Structure 1
Amino acid sequence: MHHRSSTLARAVRLTTLAALAAPASSLAGGFSLNEQSASAMGTANAGAAANPENATTVLFNPAGMSQLSGTNISFGAAVLDIDAEASDDSAQAVNQLGQPVSGSGGGDIADPAVLPNFYLTHEVSESIDVGFGIHAPYGLAADYEDDFAGRYFADETELTVIAFTPSISVSNGEGLSMGAGINLMYAEGKLTRFLDNSAASLAVSSQNGTPNPSLYDQGYADIEGDDIGVTFRVGFLYELSNRTQFGLSAQTGTELNLKGDAKLSNFVDPANGVITPTNAFEKVEVPLAIPESVTLGARHKLTNQVTLLAGATYAKWSRFEELDIVSREAGGEITGAPQEGAILSHVTEKWQNTWQFNVGAIWQASPEWAFKTGYAFDESPVNENFVTARIPSNDRHWLTLGAQWADAQSGWVVDVAAGTLIFDGDARVNERNYQHENPTQVAELRPGLEDPSNYRGSYDLSAWSAAIEVSKSF
């Protein structure tokens, strides 16, 4: 028993460290991640709220723990690789003076990401079960090459979220179960971009008698922060018959405030009386909205060998209206504002609420082997009028295949799954510098004129994913 406990402790510790070290890429369902379980991924997560195969039900529907006996563990990892690249021909930008910015499409902006997970359930009594999970529910990673034409809008974007999920379920013994869980989330993020000094260069050099829009080299902005947040999940599972059951799972939303520092190098700001490049620092925070969501699931055993699954998820991504960097101090080196709350940077997002629809099937070919397949349509929440270089996104179709091997005598089960993501056409970016829905004014630099900065690009998106999971019942 001691050996088993130490093994579980090491698994939890390694899973936590790996999740914290690996940001992920997600270009369709906002910054949420579907790759949380190989057993569910085999059917494109179809009916996951109504199909408690193993301990991963802690995540999909905590009420499903009531249908697991004894103690159960599931652990594994998924690999997600998204190819997202703007063609060099389409990547065009102009600076604050309306002059062309030389550069490339920025290369492939998303590297492969590894998403580990660990889940545990335990039957306390005939009617009560408890569980725990560690997983990465949200993530985003994009990194352009330094010569990217749109470098004044985006360079590196990174979000890593790790969630710890204690849960409990209660069953009435007559086919109805209810569950609840808490998602304790640790999030850290990073936003970087190059600074356009062309307008400042022109203003300063004009004062000296020789207009020169290239007087100062470009600068660089690096913003990093972290926060801890909490969301709550409730779930219901109803067994209509020994062949059919339905599940419902709902999660609350929240707002993370990633608190950290803004570091600007080669920063030129004539409006604040600084006429030469300098380094500037300021304490900042980045509010980040996490959406509410509701998931419905259904499972029907058509025969003893064939199971059909279906599901739908509605997510309130409209909570994410803007991406702001907000000062946390008065008289900061960057804003110089007399009180905290000044906005250093604003990006209009105005995301939209989304649906995801899933269908899948399981064929139990033998007592040991089962084969799975699934399809999901995943709407993108990104507003087509405000597609940004940080998150070039589009609707996608997810096709998956999976296989499961089970040894009834030992209780070990192994799932593997693979999927491909097909995006609906190219993602087109047409981004400007906005300040609360209106193009920013640079009156101090070019009196009476708006900032004409602009980046346009057409992104070719494609992706694949693969996962493995090991489960055991004790």
Structure 2
Amino acid sequence: MTTSKFLFRASLVAASVAAASTAYSAGFALNDHSATASGKALGGVAASNEDISASFWNPALFVNAKETTVYVSGAYVMPSMDVTVNSAKDATPTSPSVLGGPKDLTADGATQDSVDNTLVPAFYFAKPLSDKTVAGISLNVPFGLSGDYGQDWAGRFHATETAIQDIALSFALAHRVNNWASVGASVQIHKAEVVLESAVGTTTTLAGGEGIGRIEADDTSYGYSLGVALEPRKGTRLGLGYRSEVDFDFKGDVKYTDVSAGLAGAANLVNADVSDSITFPSVITLSLEQDLTPKLMLGLTAIRTGWGAMDGINIDFDSEQDNSELTFGFEDQWMYSAGLTYAHSDKLTLRTGVAMDNSPVTDKYRSARTPDGDRKWISVGGTYDFNDMTSATFAFTHVMIEDVSVNRNFTASGQEDASRGTLDADYKSSANVVSVAMNMAF
């Protein structure tokens, strides 16, 4: 018998209180880094001339700061994910002829909400060094999923709790080349912590029973971004931004609780050091903003995330345990959005937008850790200018998520579910997101 393999789901945390929601963005890319951008569903974000928060997608847009500027944004994510378990069996015991084979873990469909409300913050600071050059600092949570099934649900051998907590701190320079072109670049420090937990063993007492295994690991890594912003004619703005892949080499330990001596001996379940390498994907953002009238502006955006760089998890244990594997089977995907911005008055600006966010998860490899489906956004928002130096922004986004099913049955000898058993479950998810921000110039 091999140990139950630990799967992957992520929660990105900043300032010790922030986490991201599994129900918000396709895959686990987070896109609420700006209440301004969220109000128009990211339409035109990489070409925006509104404020410095668009610099997450295009560092050249730090040139939007004419004075020393601080922009602070927070998104309160209210997700819902109901899981209906149709069937689940534990793994085949070591002596199936004696122990009777896999056991049913649920007799009836069971539903539960396994995600919590969370806060996702973002912070930007810009200081002009000259009339043409601006230095910028930002703190963001670029990727994440979160949730906790608990240790008693029928799919516990596939997932109980998991998290990756990542803070990305960026240092940028942006330069206005002339009156219609700007460029920018940043370097980023990423600090990530990983938690992976699941049940191990089987429900059969004669085979040693079951327990819980928990992995905690961390790493610090680096990335960069590049961007260009153009206004070839007045009222027409183009923007292109690129965020690099980030390679993490996680190191930590695994600890087991409630594991019997028989199970520990049969499966080599001993506390040990662990390691794994994971690459977070690159992101390319292409945007257009067009002034339709002096008051009305159209924004269009296409975002390509290179999910194919994430082949899966292959956790190496510094013991005699077999590696723990999970195939992601992710595919590169696009997000498309369109937004409108309307200058209602000198003090009030209104926004709305829609988006289609395609999931990188394929039906074949969808798991309890990646129960992901395509998303559609509907957003509204606005900004009120108190004076020339201070403004407040609000946005509301409703995220509709495609109903999906998880059907895990890779249980043949040597396959990645051989020690987990089977799981057939249906997922219904959605999310509401409220974002607020303050923009202050000095």
TM-score, with structure 2 as normaliser: 0.89
1:26 Cα deviation from its structure 2 partner: 2.9
Higher deviation after alignment, 113-122 or 24-33: 24-33
- Give runs of aligned pairs for residues 388-407 of structure 1, distance below 5 A: 388-407=367-386
Pick closer, same or farther for the CA change 1:22–1:356 going to 2, 3 Å. Answer: same
Question: Take 1:167 and 1:398, find their aligned partners in 2: how far apart are those partners?
Answer: 30
3-state SS, counterpart of residue 436 of structure 2: strand
Aligned to 2:294: 304
8 Å contact from structure 1 (residues 118, 133) kept in 2: yes
Task: In structure 1, give the amino acid aligned to 2:20.
Answer: A
Amino acid at match of 2:336: F
Deviates more, 1:303-312 or 1:213-222: 213-222
* Aligned amino acid, residue 92 of structure 1: A
Q: 1:362 and 2:335 equivalent?
A: no
- Distance (Å, rounded) in 1 between the aligned partners of 2:17 and 2:411: 33
Task: Evaluate the alpha carbon distance shift between residue 252 and residue 421 of structure 1 in structure 2; reply closer, same or farther with a 3 A threshold.
Answer: same
Query: How far apart, CA to CA, are the structure 2 residues paired with 1:417 and 1:39?
Result: 7
Instruction: Name the aligned partner's letter for residue 408 of structure 2.
Output: E
Q: What are the superposed Cα offsets for residues 193-248 of structure 1, whole Å, 9 maximum, x if unpaired?
A: 111235xx6xxxxxxxxxxx545331111001111111110000011122111000
Q: Where does residue 406 of structure 2 map in the other structure? A: 429
Q: Aligned to 1:84, which of 81, 85, 89?
A: 81
Kept after mapping to 1: 8 A contact 2:59/2:186:
yes
| Alignment partners' CA distance in 2, 1:471 and 1:161 | 25
Tell me which residue corresponds to 1:453: 421
Preserved contact between residue 21 and residue 144 of structure 2 (Cα < 8 Å): yes
Using the TM superposition, give the Cα deviation of residue 139 of structure 1 relative to its aligned residue in structure 2, in angstroms: 1.7
Q: Distance in 2 between the 1:405 and 1:232 partners?
A: 33
Matched residue of 1:240: which SS? strand
Instruction: Tell me the amino acid that sits aligned with residue 106 of structure 2.
Output: S
Deviation string, structure 1 residues 324-380 (Cα, Å, up to 9, x no partner): 2112x3xx2x52xxxxxxx53111111110000010001111000011001110010
Query: 1:204 aligns to what?
Result: none
CA distance 1:91–1:111, shift in 2 (3 Å): farther
Partner of 1:467: 435
1:276-313 CA distances to partner (integer Å, 9 max, x unpaired)?
A: x9962110023222111211011111111101100101
> Counterpart of 1:413?
391
Paired residue secondary structure (1:166): strand
Distance 1:122 1:149 in 2: 54
Q: Which moved more, 1:296-305 or 1:167-176?
A: 167-176
Structure 1 residues 108 and 162 mapped into 2: Cα distance closer, same or farther (>3 Å)? same
1:217 to 200, 209, 213: 209
Q: Quick check: 1:432–1:452 contact (8 Å CA) kept in 2?
A: no
The question of whether the paired residues in 2 share the 8 Å contact of 1:26 and 1:33 is answered with no
State the partner residue of 1:185: 190
Q: How far apart are the structure 1 equivalents of 2:347 and 2:263?
A: 71
Q: Looking at both structures, which has the greater relative contact order when contacts are Cα pairs under 8 Å and sequence separation is at least 6?
A: 2
Alignment partners' CA distance in 1, 2:34 and 2:80: 22
Aligned pairs for 1:7-406 within 5 A: 19-27=15-23, 28-88=25-85, 90-96=86-92, 97-102=101-106, 105=110, 107-198=112-203, 214=206, 216-267=208-259, 274=265, 280-327=270-317, 329=318, 332=319, 334-335=320-321, 343-406=322-385
Q: 1:429 to 1:269 in 2, by over 3 A?
A: farther
Call closer, same or farther: CA 1:434–1:46 in 2, change over 3 Å.
Answer: farther
Q: Is the 8 A contact 1:19 1:135 kept in 2?
A: no
Q: What code does the residue aligned with 1:170 have?
A: H
Structure 1: any 5+ residue segments left out of the alignment? 1-15, 202-212, 336-342, 442-449
> How far did 1:161 drift?
1.1
| C-alpha contact 2:210 2:263 (8 A) present in aligned 1 | no
DSSP-derived class of the 1:389 partner: coil
Residue 101 (structure 1) shift: 1.4
* Deviation, structure 1 residue 31: 1.4
**Alpha-carbon spacing, 1:469–1:354, altered in 2? closer, same or farther (3 Å):** same
Checking the alignment, whether the CA contact within 8 Å between 1:316 and 1:352 is kept in structure 2 is yes
Structure 2, unaligned stretches of length 5 or more? 1-11, 93-100
Secondary structure at the counterpart of residue 56 of structure 1: helix
Distance in 2, matches of 1:419 and 1:57, equals 17
Which sits farther off after the overlay, 343-352 or 383-392? 343-352
TM-score norm. by structure 1 comes to: 0.83
